[in-house]
Structure 1
Amino acid sequence: MKYKTEFDSSLANELAQKISDKTIVIGIMGLGYVGLPLAVALCRNNVNVVGFDIDQSKIDKINAGETYLKTVSSDAVDEIVKSGFFSATSDPSFAKDVDAIIMCVPTPLNKYREPDLSYVERTMQMALPYLKKGHIVSLESTTYPGTTDEIIRPLVDSTDLTAGEDVFLIYSPEREDPGNKDFTTSTTPKVVGGENPEALGLGCMLYELVVDQVVPVSSLSTAEAVKLTENIFRAVNISLVNELKVTYEKMGINIWEVIDAAKTKPFGFMPFYPGPGLGGHCIPIDPFYLTWKAREYGVATRFIELAGEINNTMPDYVIARLREALDDKLCKGIKRSKILLIGLAYKKNVDDTRESPALLILRKLREIGADVEFYDPYVASIPKTREYPELTGLKSVSEDEYKNGSFDAALICTDHDIIDYAQLFKTCELVVDTRNATKDVVDGREKIVWA
């Protein structure tokens, strides 16, 4: 699909010129795992950026040239602060001095597993008093089809401005993959949807300032559906391989060997890998955004909901395997065992614990009465979460403590590359591996139980 770069509206043409000559100023609201990498990428392309976050401690760190994310280095933050292209603030009045507002805020589920768009609404309401003619407003947060039209547009229209004429609405889903060294913000194609041809054209031009390839789509809702589809695809396939893991375990077949052999087929197969459950800010959450919205249209998304059920049972399956292994190999119950969880982040080589199944496993083991600690070189202590307030502040054991400790069992939840897995076999009498992290360990393999 092609997009316009010349417009009937003088307002759109003025914005297009600002984008072309890089005099445009972009405001990014939300400086987390999505917003901060985007700010770095834009500034490195000599684009002026104002970053906004309600957390003043983050702003203070950024303006001091320091990072608070493992996935963005302090050197990168210091670089953009000193470049003159970047500033950070917690004052929402910044919005009056920018030409484009990009919102990168969380869209979690509430306790009823329904979409919680309060962050999106509050962020837009903070910008609303400073909205002006000629603003581009882009939402990057993952959400259900119709969100921009149903939430953002009415807020814009509640002012004396009109969406589509005075303010140009865009939806462009974030595609960050923390810890992925092969694809960056700039090298990952960017899907863009606009409310009309002018908005689409301006949105594509805007994102071409920072990404190698933009992918225009026909509507806002289509763009919103793209991100959901990407992550539902992953969630469904992960649930399939998790179910296969449980099935093959009963048959005495190693799922990891099966996948390694199957992926040698050069067509018709794509490898997905099992684990202790789903984590992260997207895959465990996004499918429920669509199932919730589908009910409005009287559609039952049975396949997606079944995938969610399977993935949600995996922490209990892992604990059951741990219980069996302790009984079979050590003749011990969980209550009488000292257990070390390896890895608390939701995926390897990052510090992000959002929706991590390891948190649920930790809680359940504590409730059972296990003497359980965790070791994660990326997570020094458990951050505050809505779901696990009682775990806030629990600290990781040190590297020396995990290497010299007398643990009965190690339960590998996250397969960080820098962990010395061979050492676990010396430290623990039993190693329960949910990630195939110990595949290269030679000595002591009789201690391994797969889960």
Structure 2
Amino acid sequence: MTEAENPLATKLARLIADRKARVAIIGLGYVGLPLALTLCRAGFPVLGFDIDERRVALLNRGESGIRHIPADAIRAALAEDRFEASADFERLGEADAILICVPTPLTRQREPDLSFVERASRQIARTLRPGQLVVLESTTWPGTTEEIVKPILEEAGARSGDGFFLAFSPEREDPGNRDFGTRDIPKIVGGDGAHASRLADALYAAAMTSTVPVSSPAVAEAVKLTENIFRSVNIALVNELKVVYDAMGIDVWDVIAAASTKPFGFMPFQPGPGLGGHCIPIDPFYLAWKAREFEVPTRFIELAGEINTAMPRHVVDRMAEALDRRFGRGLNGSRILVLGVAYKRNVEDTRESASFRLIELLEDRGAHTSYHDPHVPEIGPTREHRELAGRRSIALTAQAIADFDAVLVATDHDDVDYALVAAHMRLGVDTRNVFAKRQLDLSRVVKA
């Protein structure tokens, strides 16, 4: 049978065109949930899967649990009978297209952990039926779709491109971004064969503003890694410049602001206390790991990782130095208030947050820490910082601020009263330049 004669592809293409294809999404977090709602708004019925039964119940009640995703959107999808959440993975057979949006973290040895992808693939394989489209969205090393997912699915008996269709389309979410939502971000699509490419492209094109078909799943996988490695390398560059310029008595933020006035040849990146989130701290290691298979060095990528990983220690060293100069003692016994434990501004997402490493380093040197974060009332369980779970955000009052020896600005949330902080803190260590941006008193501020 030639590709042009595949009736399964023809049938699925018709279902997609008529918005009758039922879409399953595995993983209803920061990637899967906005994708589900985008597909619902495009007219598709969506069945979402998650291993967290509490999250499933929350969503089926019409509640979000994610700050930037409005509950109204979930309730609208439920009311139109377009969305349902489930923890029963045996129902995957009900779907015409299955999108995998599960985590791809690192092990403690900084190697790729594809256990979530493999588990999802096996769950799909148990109910795989002829004509289903399977798309991996989780960020991973080039070759994962064809080398890991494809063999697991083919154990069910069908072959990719004939009995089922397989593709990779990387998630490009930016939680909290008010300018670019899921629908607005061009969708990269790479299929295992022409039918898979056309079907995956048709599905996403029906819901997204635009799609970008590429020649293979491996190319699509490489696109996502390239995007985040680009950011990682440039953030490492400005972090290194921050250290160099600080030694020279030069404010790196002033330098970046002035350099940004050049209308060509310069793209501003901002320094910080270290990397956070599920992408930039992790993705470069996925490519570096895969490159070793081909005996190709990735020195530039690995150097950027080293620089960014070292930033929390640099910040803590700067704080110790500032405390010694101002009060004649270092970190041991000092009380430190950390402002922000989310990995980025205006979200509640704490994945890979540099703030957790900062707290650990401060406490390793004898400091007593508390934190304030308007979006994270309590620190939940984490893979690597289990001792922090259960700690709660303190109220930000004038008296509370004055009780600390120093305030460390780690995350620059908009809804923090920095004027109050500036007025009552004894010392501020600012990793985000928030006090200067707001033209507040800098006499007790050290930039780090």
Q: TM-score range by the shorter chain?
A: over 0.9
Give, in angstroms, the shift of residue 258 of structure 1: 0.3
SS at match of 1:399: coil
Structure 1 SS opposite 2:188: strand
> Which residues in structure 2 correspond to 1:356-375 (within 5 Å)?
356-375=353-372
The normalised TM-score by structure 1 is 0.97
User: Counterpart of 1:228?
Assistant: 225
Q: Which residue of 2 aligns with 1:3?
A: none
Whether 1:424 and 2:421 are equivalent positions in the alignment is yes
Separation in 2 of the partners of 1:177 and 1:442?
28
Measure how far apart 1:444 and its partner are: 2.8
Structure 1 counterpart of 2:180, from 167, 173, 183: 183
1:323 matches 2:317: no
Residue pairs, 1:164-203, within 5 angstroms: 164-203=161-200
Amino acid at match of 1:226: V
CA deviation after TM superposition for structure 1 residue 402, in Å: 7.2
Q: Which residue of 2 aligns with 1:112?
A: 109
Q: Which residue of 2 aligns with 1:28?
A: 25
Counterpart check, 1:354 vs 2:351: yes
Instruction: Give the TM-score normalised by the residue count of structure 2.
Output: 0.98
Q: 2:64 maps to which residue?
A: 67
Residues 404, 274 of structure 1: alpha-carbon distance in 2 compared, 3 angstrom cutoff: closer
Give the corresponding residue for 1:13: 10
Match of 1:376 among 353, 373, 376: 373
**Does the 8 A contact of 2:26 with 2:101 survive in 1?**
yes
Which residue in the other structure is 1:433 paired with?
Answer: 430
Q: Distance in 2 between matches of 1:306 and 1:160?
A: 44
| Mapped pair 1:152 → 2:145 | no
Structure 1 range deviating more: 170-179 or 335-344: 335-344
Q: Partner amino acid for 1:222?
A: V
- 1:396, CA displacement in angstroms? 0.8
Residue 97 of structure 2 is aligned to residue 100 of structure 1 = yes
Q: How far is 1:46 from its partner?
A: 1.4
Output the aligned Cα RMSD: 1.2
Indicate the residue corresponding to 1:163 in structure 2: 160
2:422–2:435 contact (8 Å) kept in structure 1 = no
CA contact (8 A) 2:335 2:368 kept: yes
Query: 1:145–1:442: structure 2 CA closer, same or farther, 3 Å change rule?
Result: closer
Could you tell me which residue of structure 2 aligns to residue 300 of structure 1? 297
- 1:447 corresponds in structure 2 to 444
Give the secondary structure class of the aligned counterpart of 1:361.
helix
Counterpart residue identity of residue 382, structure 1: I
Deviation string, structure 1 residues 37-94 (Cα, Å, up to 9, x no partner): 0011111111100000010000000000001111212222222111211111000011
- Name the SS for the 2:406 alignment partner: strand
Cα distance change, pair 402–270 in 1 and its aligned pair in 2 (3 A): farther
Give the paired residue count: 446
* Paired position in structure 1 for 2:46: 49
**Cα distance in 1, alignment partners of residues 68 and 137 from structure 2:** 19
CA separation of 1:278/1:404 partners in 2, compared to 1, >3 Å: closer, same or farther?
closer
Q: Displacement of 1:363 after TM fit?
A: 1.1
Per-residue CA deviation, residues 156-215 of structure 1 (Å, 9 max, x unaligned), is 111121111111001000000001000000000000000111110001001012111000
1:78 aligns with 2:71: no
Tell me what 1:414 maps to. Answer: 411
Identity %: 51
Which AA in structure 1 matches 2:25? I
SS in 1 for 2:29: coil
Q: After the TM superposition, which of the residue ranges 78-87 and 291-300 deviates more from structure 2?
A: 78-87
Letter in 2 for 1:423: L
SS across alignment from 1:224: helix
TM-superposed deviation, 1:443: 4.6
| Equivalent residue letter for 1:20 | A
The one-character-per-residue Cα deviations of 1:247-304 (angstroms, maximum 9, x if unpaired) are 0000010000000000110100000010000000000000000000000000010000
| Gaps in structure 2 of 5+ consecutive residues | none
